[in-house]
Structure 1
Amino acid sequence: MNDALSPPPLAAPAAKPASGPQGAGAHIIAVTSGKGGVGKTFISANLAAALTRRGLRVLVLDADLGLANLDVVLNLHPKVTLHEVFTGKATLDEAIVQAPGGFSALLAGSGMVEYSRLTPEVRNQFIQVIDTIRPRYDVILLDTGAGISDVVLFSVSLAHEVLLVATPEPTSLTDAYAAIKVLCTQQKRQHVRLVINQTARPGDGRAITSQLQQVLERFVKTDSGRPVRLIHMGDIPADPSVREAIMRRQLLLQLLPGCPAALAMLQLAGKIEATLPGAAAPK
């Protein structure tokens, strides 16, 4: 995880400030990762269900334009996606569907090559969608793609907060470091929240967060002179129930609500709720 492993800087995407959109409406959280295959979409979906159980109005937006798979995780077969909205073939209201778990979902099309590049048209349409749905919800989770492409960085730039998902594997941690570096240097993020998935032992995630923090303090300098602060939000333990839920295309919180990973998701939701604007201070 040394600095030589990090990729060269990309041009910062022209988007809204990294502090997120202004005005009243949903708190937007980008769920992202440096590497694919770490459980990001699985966590987005189950976190949405857990937040909904806490009485919040939640929408998950599949921001992985072109390689969407939120519909697979939720076992949904949408006739209308963001592709139809962007092309004027359907309205935004027609594209928002009710997902298992009681939250709303806005799904993207899969295999759409035209969304692999961030064009001005896609950028403006995406911003318009966000601005339209924000007043309707308390929380919007942006399930972004993995990595640091311009499409991913643009999606993340629209969020108030970043929840980065990583696993204890060295490749995941190296890519997480690279993603965090880009977020703090290009988007001027002062902090990034981490959830460590597939941990083997209690305390693994906190130790990993501490190690990443030390590397960032050594190699990454921000404009303020202060290192980006990593906030450990919790661990999702390695649990065979997760694979069973994925294979059945069901939410873990519905299929096996008492398993260790599901209980960890509920704890994560509680911590996320405590960070929302207007949340009561913990006693």
Structure 2
Amino acid sequence: MDKHVLDQAEGLRRLLARDAPRVVTLVGGDEQAGTSSAVINLAAALARQGKDVLVIDEQCDAKSLIEAVGADRVRTLADVVAGKATIDEISAQFDERVRVIASPLGSLPAGRASETLASLNCGVDVVLIDAKVDDEGALSPIAMQANDVVIVMRANAQSITGAYACVKRLHFAHAIHQFRVLINGVTSASDAYSVYQNLTAVGSRYLAVTFSPAGAVSLDVRLARAALLSRTVVEAFPAAPATLDFRRIAVDLLHWPWRQPNQAPARGTTNRVASAPLASTV
């Protein structure tokens, strides 16, 4: 089909869906992936693009975004779905355009994901979910409603292995066939490319899944310095390499093709996938 026609069709879909926020789920391939840092810095970068962002924190532990921004962990997204509170009442304002709310894994009623999405249609442009998988490797009902699922990882062999294992669990639990990959802590573009190519080759061969690059974030000591100041690197150090990376990712995200949310199959209906050997070096 002609590219001009495709662009027109995409524009029409966005116009018709202009009141619905884009929902992006970010999930770490391993505990050291830096998912929460990626989420809040990406939110800040999107805010610099003039977008209103709602961040949903499913981690809700002592090192979570909720703790960092001083939000109330007692009142959660489940209270909004139940009609007991509004988004404004349970959210913490991180900056002028970014709000953060808690949604502990397992707190939302099963089978009400569509109602949850409706409750999020509150004037925000983008919803970012700092997702957590359950003991069976599955996402929460709201995280599964995302337009995009982004695997966050680092540029090392351990993280490649963890990312593949995460993709494998999500593919088995939800039959997800398309993922995006965000790589943290890269020292060069070639390192990021090698990691991405490695994961893509293994995923395509053993899982029949496809990957698209979400972007890469430079290894930058100012990320940690900003965190100590309870600020994002985007806000604290506007010219830092990591800031420029997050801003590029934010611009690209706003132009990702609009996908329908994934629908989870009944448990046990997806074929098990093969284990795969992974490269031990980046």
Q: Does 1:208 align with 2:195?
A: yes
Q: Cα gap change, 1:68/1:84 in structure 2, threshold over 3 Å: closer, same or farther?
A: farther
Q: Would you say the 8 A contact 1:30–1:155 is kept in 2?
A: no
Number of aligned pairs? Answer: 242
CA distance in 2, matches of 1:126, 1:99: 25
8 Å CA contact 2:33, 2:153 repeated in 1: yes
CA distance in 1, matches of 2:37, 2:190: 22
Alignment partners' CA distance in 2, 1:76 and 1:84: 19
Q: Which runs of 5+ in 2 are unaligned?
A: 1-16, 260-282
Q: 1:243 and 1:60, CA in 2 relative to 1: closer, same or farther beyond 3 A?
A: same
CA distance in 1, matches of 2:254, 2:57: 21
Amino acid at match of 1:48: A
- Residue 88 (structure 1) shift: 7.4
1:81 correspondence with 2:68 = no
Q: In the alignment, does 2:100 pair up with 1:105?
A: yes
Structure 2 counterpart of 1:35: 30
The corresponding residue for 2:9 is none
The one-letter code sitting in structure 2 at the alignment partner of 1:235 is A
Deviations 1:56-84 (A, max 9, x none): 221111123567711234x3343763078
Q: Secondary structure at the match of 2:120?
A: helix
Q: Structure 1 CA distance, aligned partners of 2:123 and 2:170?
A: 28
In structure 2, relative to structure 1, the CA distance for the partners of 1:172 and 1:197 (3 Å cut) is same
User: Which amino acid is the alignment partner of residue 70 of structure 2?
Assistant: L
Aligned residue identity for 2:187: A
| Structure of greater relative contact order (alpha carbons < 8 Å, 6+ residues apart) | 1
**Deviation, structure 1 residue 252:** 0.8
Q: Distance in 2 between matches of 1:68 and 1:134?
A: 28
TM-score (norm 2): 0.74
Aligned runs of 1:54-65 on 2, under 5 Å? Answer: 54-64=49-59
Contact kept? 1:68, 1:107, Cα under 8 Å: no
Question: Match for 1:252: what amino acid?
Answer: V
- TM-score after normalising by structure 1: 0.74
> How big is the shift at 1:91?
4.0
Q: 1:96 aligns with which of 91, 94, 100?
A: 91
1:1-283 equivalent positions in 2, closer than 5 A: 25-64=20-59, 69-73=64-68, 75-78=69-72, 81-82=75-76, 85=79, 90-100=85-95, 102-108=97-103, 118=106, 122-124=109-111, 128-145=115-132, 149=136, 152=139, 154-220=141-207, 227-275=208-256, 277=258
Indicate how the Cα distance of structure 1 residues 26 and 77 shifts in structure 2: closer, same or farther if over 3 A, else same.
Answer: closer
Q: Which amino acid aligns with 2:198?
A: Q
Distance (Å, rounded) in 2 between the aligned partners of 1:88 and 1:134: 14
Deviation at residue 90 of structure 1 after TM alignment: 4.2
Q: Distance in 2 between matches of 1:243 and 1:157?
A: 30
Q: Deviations over 1:141-181 (max 9, x none)?
A: 11112676456354431211011110022222111101112
Q: Which runs of 5+ in 1 are unaligned?
A: 1-22, 109-114, 221-226, 279-283
With 252-261 and 175-184 compared, the bigger mean Cα shift is at 175-184
Shift of 1:194: 0.6
Match of 1:10 in 2: none
Are 1:52 and 1:103, in contact at CA under 8 Å, matched by a contact in 2?
yes
SS in 1 for 2:188: coil
> Residue by residue, what CA displacement relative to the aligned partner does 1:221-269 show, whole Å, maximum 9, x if unpaired?
xxxxxx2111112211111101111122211111111111111100111
Which stretch has the larger CA shift, 51-60 or 251-260? 51-60
- Determine the structure 2 residue equivalent to 1:7: none
Aligned to 1:15: none
Is the CA contact (8 Å cut-off) linking 2:52 and 2:98 kept in structure 1? yes
Please tell me whether the aligned partners of residues 85 and 92 of structure 1 are also in contact (alpha carbons under 8 angstroms).
no
Aligned residue for 2:278? none
The SS at the match of 2:54 is strand
